[in-house]
Amino acid sequence: MSDRRLFIGGEWVAPSTDQVLEVVSPHTEQLVASAAAAGIADVDRAVAAARQAFDSGPWPRLAPAERIAAVRRLMGLYKERRKEMAQVITDEMGSPISFSKFSQATLPMLLMGAFADIAESVQWEEQRPGAFGQDIVLRRDPVGVVAAIVPWNMPQFLLVGKLVPALLAGCTVVVKPSPETPLDANLLAELVEAADLPPGVVSILPAGREVGAHLVTHPGVDKVSFTGSTAVGREIAAACGTALKRVSLELGGKSAAVVLDDADPAAVAEGIKVAGLMNSGQACVAQTRVLVPRSRAADFTDALEAMVSNLVTGDPNDPATEVGPLVAQRQQERVRGYIASGQDEGARLVVGGEKMPAGLDRGWYVAPTLFADVDNSMRIAQEEIFGPVLSVIPYDDEADAVRIANDSDYGLSGSVWTAATDRGLDVAGRIRTGSFGVNQPYSMDPAAPFGGVKASGIGREMGREGLDGYLELKSISVATAR
């Protein structure tokens, strides 16, 4: 299967180059499909179309209700093909199909509806009395042309989380998906086309980093919304700062699950299965640092060992699979390098660490791995691994647990596990992070703003705050006519 077209300005066109993106199955290591790769000229064409649509087209000038109706049309189309979307994502990046069906396909559809509901409650224009006797009209206007850059690990959830609020705000959007996952992006483009948006409003350009850099620095772009690594995020922030361009960044994480001494080991292990190992550990919110009281470290480590040892690892198309392959061979080698580093630095390998999980002779797999007796200064505790590797870190008392949880460059997610909710809320209030869960992994609720502090990013997505990120406030003073 191959497609040599790009979706630019609302129509399918021939790309400016003959370069292609080859999509290889992480499970079979065989070619799945190929897709056209966008070039620099394609970015220029897409931004020009978006600029024209924003400056002169109808989209920003429609009544908000009309944009909401368009998003609901898109949601209906998405619902009809969400099973296909889940399968495409599993095929191209190896996400277990059970995870793809909900988190990679159904959840993005639900996000569309949640944003449409939020937009219906927005007061797009309001009046307030001025301090000096004049009336003030406050308008919420779209920020302009948006560059939305998304990674491969949660491609649809992250893409929809940028595209839909931008559209509802009245922006026009150029999306750059990851080169590892062009197929689901092109499927979404088909749905956008069927939703019958005005020309120029949406372009989708699968491409590599060079094209993304050109999009970021393009003078026709008013805002950049990026999800990806902290290293790239710093470069984007610098470029946007120089241009005084609006920017939001959702970056890396090294989140902690704080286990208090009254928690149940079996419940904690079941929770960490999701919190730390969702999507085979390829999640920025993964809580891979498991902080346990030193006095009960053996109890919690044993429960985690049993959980990790019994994970079903293998074919991502098998509904029983819990851990699939990693997205690419380079990612497999990266994760294995961290496992070797953990052993070299003195962490105790409890389970996993094998070159290939039992029963598998191909695919970019890493056996689910658990380390114990980890010191928080080790690389496996400080650096984002992005694979199925957990580190158990002992602490002395509650204050020590909070200190260790905060001893990180990152601040994206986290959780606390306890029999006493009030105690958990107290711990949650003392940890510097953008999102947190009490007796659960942080829930990606569409109504809740999501984002990080410190090196985990700038700004928020989802919730009312996610829509606000694509709006500019305009204050208009009104004097009484004479």
Q: Identify whether the C-beta of residue 74 lies closer than 8 Å to the C-beta of residue 191.
A: yes
Residue 364 resides in a domain: yes
Residue 127 resides in a domain: yes
Tell me what pLDDT residue 235 has: 97
Mean pLDDT for the stretch of residues 413-422 = 97
Q: Identify whether the C-beta of residue 348 lies closer than 8 Å to the C-beta of residue 371.
A: yes
Which structural domain, as residue segments, surrounds residue 187?
A: 2-251+456-476
Q: Does pLDDT of 456 surpass 80?
A: yes
One domain, residues 231 and 342: no
One domain, residues 81 and 213: yes
Rounded Cα distance between 201 and 187, Å, is 17
One domain, residues 340 and 194: no
Rounded Cα distance between 85 and 259, Å, is 36
Tell me what pLDDT residue 482 has: 64
Residue 434 resides in a domain: yes
Mean pLDDT for the stretch of residues 18-37 = 96
- 189 by DSSP, 3-state: which? helix
Tell me what pLDDT residue 356 has: 86
Tell me what pLDDT residue 397 has: 97
Residue 482 resides in a domain: no
Q: Does pLDDT of 1 surpass 90?
A: no
Q: From edge to edge, which strands make up the β-sheet containing 471-478?
A: 125-129, 135-142, 471-478
One domain, residues 14 and 159: yes
CATH of the domain at 150: 3.40.605.10
One domain, residues 295 and 353: yes
- 249 by DSSP, 3-state: which? strand
One domain, residues 403 and 428: yes
Distance of CA 461 to the CA centre of its chain: 10
At 246-258, the pLDDT tens digits run 999 999 999 999 9
At 118-173, the pLDDT tens digits run 999 999 999 988 888 788 999 999 999 999 999 999 999 999 999 999 999 999 99
One domain, residues 203 and 287: no
The tokens 């392959």 sit on which residue? 325
Mean pLDDT for the stretch of residues 446-472 = 96
Q: What is the 3-state secondary structure (H, E, C) of 354-404?
A: CCCCCCCCCCCCCCCEEEECCCCCCHHHHCCCCCCEEEEEEECCHHHHHHH
One domain, residues 469 and 399: no
Rounded Cα distance between 285 and 323, Å, is 16
Closest to 168 in 3D by CA, of 245, 55, 60: 60
Tell me what pLDDT residue 442 has: 79
Tell me what pLDDT residue 481 has: 66
Q: Does pLDDT of 59 surpass 70?
A: yes
Confidence of residue 205 (pLDDT cuts 50, 70, 90): very high
For 311, the token pair is: 């994970």
One domain, residues 240 and 300: no
Residue 9 resides in a domain: yes
355 vs 30, higher pLDDT? 30
Mean pLDDT for the stretch of residues 325-347 = 97
Confidence of residue 2 (pLDDT cuts 50, 70, 90): low
Which amino acid would we find at residue 386? F
Query: How many separate domains does the chain show?
Result: 2
Active-site positions read 250, 284
What is the number of H-type helices and E-type strands within the chain?
Answer: 16, 21
Mean pLDDT for the stretch of residues 358-371 = 95
Rounded Cα distance between 113 and 100, Å, is 19
Q: Identify whether the C-beta of residue 148 lies closer than 8 Å to the C-beta of residue 173.
A: yes
Tell me what pLDDT residue 109 has: 96
User: What mean pLDDT, rounded, does the chain reach?
Assistant: 96
One domain, residues 137 and 192: yes
One domain, residues 148 and 291: no
Residue 329 resides in a domain: yes
Residue 224 resides in a domain: yes
Residue 141 resides in a domain: yes
Distances (CA, A) of 332 to 41, 295, 338, 359, 364: 34, 35, 10, 17, 6
Task: Please report the beta strands in 260-340, taking only residues with DSSP state E, as ranges in sequence order.
Answer: 289-293
End-to-end CA distance of the chain: 70
Tell me what pLDDT residue 335 has: 97
Tell me what pLDDT residue 420 has: 97
Rounded Cα distance between 395 and 85, Å, is 43
Distances (CA, A) of 292 to 69, 71, 284, 297: 49, 45, 22, 6
Mean pLDDT for the stretch of residues 325-337 = 97
Question: What one-character-per-residue DSSP string does 427-481 give?
Answer: HHTTS--S--EESSPPP--TTS-B--SGGGEES-BSHHHHHHTTEEEEEEEEPPP
For 101, the token pair is: 């069906």
One domain, residues 260 and 247: no
Q: Identify whether the C-beta of residue 162 lies closer than 8 Å to the C-beta of residue 225.
A: yes
Rounded (5°) CA angle 475-477-480: 155
Mean pLDDT for the stretch of residues 193-201 = 97
